[in-house]
């Protein structure tokens, strides 16, 4: 009897169930104390590992861990501390500018508003989504390159870009699961379905969803 791949509805149900089993708890990988330190940590994580960010932020928080103090720190000093994260010239300027904006326009508070967050220097849609979901608890589905890749391997999106992938995932999974699921997929990707460790034919979720898949799944970059 021919082996059949799961239907999309079956894939969605299996993925949700298996991720809940593997990752019942989803601690935020980036160390932070409040919405501001999370915002800065997420900004630093662009093209950098969470592990590296967590190594760098303690020294940064010693310099300043709130918008008022950070706004007073020279950009060169911020850049010196965050250099190991990469893109330090752009990131240090963004941290300095957004801190000044928070002080001048938002009474030193991170706005609990997606549109307002997206206007801050260095803060794109993904970073704003992470802050809205993980700092404020609003349903959001931040999609990075890893989630984009896994969603394609699992047949959940056509994979044109991260915007399309976010829309597709939001449509497939219940709103109340988004915040947790975003982290569960990241954890699973790192542990079992990494860029080099799986090509769509190796890990448990890929092989369960697509038992008939013979060739590696080519994914489109975000």
pLDDT in tens, 85-123: 999 999 999 999 999 999 999 999 999 999 999 999 999
Report the SS3 class of residue 124. Answer: coil
| Residue 214 annotated in active site | no
Domain assignment present for residue 219? The answer is no
Sign, Cα dihedral of 58, 63, 66, 97? negative
Could you tell me the CATH number of the domain that includes residue 101? Answer: 1.10.340.30
Domain assignment present for residue 222? The answer is no
What percentage of the chain has pLDDT greater than the value 90? Answer: 94
Domain assignment present for residue 122? The answer is yes
Q: What's the pTM?
A: 0.92
State the catalytic residue, choosing from 126, 160, 199, 217: 126
Alpha-carbon distance of 172 to 12, in angstroms, equals 7
Alpha-carbon distance of 161 to 46, in angstroms, equals 17
| Residue 144 annotated in active site | yes
Domain assignment present for residue 125? The answer is yes
Residue range 163-202, pLDDT digits in tens: 999 999 999 999 999 999 999 999 999 999 998 999 999 9
Residue 5 · residue 210 · CB < 8 Å:
yes
Residues 100 and 188 in one domain: no
State the catalytic residue, choosing from 144, 168, 180, 221: 144
Tokens matching residue 56 = 């760098």
Could you tell me the CATH number of the domain that includes residue 175? Answer: 1.10.1670.10
Instruction: Give the domain range for residue 169.
Output: 8-26+142-209
Question: In this predicted structure, what is the pLDDT of residue 1?
Answer: 67
């Amino acid at each position: 009897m021919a082996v059949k791949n799961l239907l999309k509805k079956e894939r969605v149900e299996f993925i949700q169930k298996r991720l809940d089993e593997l990752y019942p708890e989803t601690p935020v990988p980036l160390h932070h104390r409040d919405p501001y330190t999370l915002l800065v940590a997420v900004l630093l994580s662009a093209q950098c590992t969470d592990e590296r960010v967590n190594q760098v932020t303690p020294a940064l928080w010693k310099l300043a861990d709130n918008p008022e103090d950070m706004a007073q720190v020279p950009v060169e000093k911020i850049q010196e501390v965050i250099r190991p994260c990469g893109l330090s010239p752009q990131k240090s300027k963004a941290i300095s500018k957004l801190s000044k904006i928070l002080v001048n326009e938002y009474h030193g508070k991170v706005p609990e508003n997606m549109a307002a967050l997206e206007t801050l220097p260095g803060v794109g849609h993904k970073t704003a989504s992470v802050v809205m979901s993980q700092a404020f608890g609003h349903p959001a589905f931040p999609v990075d390159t890893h989630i984009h890749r896994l969603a394609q391997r699992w047949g959940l999106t056509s994979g044109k870009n991260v915007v399309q992938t976010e829309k597709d995932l939001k449509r497939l999974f219940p709103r109340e699961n988004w915040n947790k699921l975003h982290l569960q997929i990241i954890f699973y990707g790192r542990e079992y379905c990494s860029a080099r460790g799986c090509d769509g034919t190796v890990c448990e979720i890929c092989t369960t969803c697509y038992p008939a898949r013979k060739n590696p799944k080519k994914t489109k970059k975000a």
